[in-house]
Amino acid sequence: MKEGVIIVNAGGEFIGTMDKMAAHRSGMLHRAFSVFIFNSKGQLLLQQRALDKYHSGGLWTNTCCSHPKLGEVTFDAANRRLQEEMGMACKLTELFQFSYHHQFENGLIENEFDHVFMGISDELPLPNSTEVANFKYIDTDQLMFELIEQPDLYTPWFKICLEQVLETYYQII
């Protein structure tokens, strides 16, 4: 198995493992995480996925996202990938979990049990160019306008969970 993902049931409980690409071809439910970093001005740090990603290349999305490795605590995986993708560290808090299913035009299927984390940092990212094409900080009002005007520029999972992330963020600050 090249790179594996953790297969879970609808409650997020471990069932087994599978090769990442096999899971995305077959649509097996697997564990994932999404990280949202805000700065002290309340702007959200977005990344534009590298153009050659296996799906959603070039689309804008949350600060970072990936899958934990077998035996890795999801919280630790989120911190690891934040460093690997965006070259930054931040104190993270898990906000919620949700499941989503999306089939892409290239035949790959996202069927993920996603753990959503949030942090606040003014550290400037140093993105890994193999993972990230670009990044930007954006005011949430401007982001909501862009999502209405140009929804196809954003990843499916980002559009699904953003509203709940923002509701939680505004309760915390």
Known active-site residue 65: yes
Q: Which strand (E) or helix (H) includes residue 142?
A: helix 140-149
DSSP 56: S
Catalytic residue among 65, 85, 90, 110: 65
Q: Which strand (E) or helix (H) includes residue 20?
A: helix 20-26
pLDDT tens for each residue of the chain, 173 residues long: 478 999 999 999 999 999 999 999 999 999 999 999 999 999 999 999 999 998 898 999 999 999 999 999 999 999 999 999 999 999 999 999 999 999 998 999 999 999 999 999 999 999 999 999 999 999 999 999 999 999 999 999 999 999 999 999 989 87
Known active-site residue 64: no
Catalytic residue among 90, 110, 112, 161: 112
- For 82, the domain range is 4-172
Phi, psi of 116 (to 5 degrees): -105, 125
66 in helix, strand or coil? strand
User: How many domains are there within the chain?
Assistant: 1
pTM to 2 decimals? 0.95
CA distance 135 to 86: 9
Fill in the amino acid letter for 14.
F
What CATH number does the domain containing 145 carry?
3.90.79.10
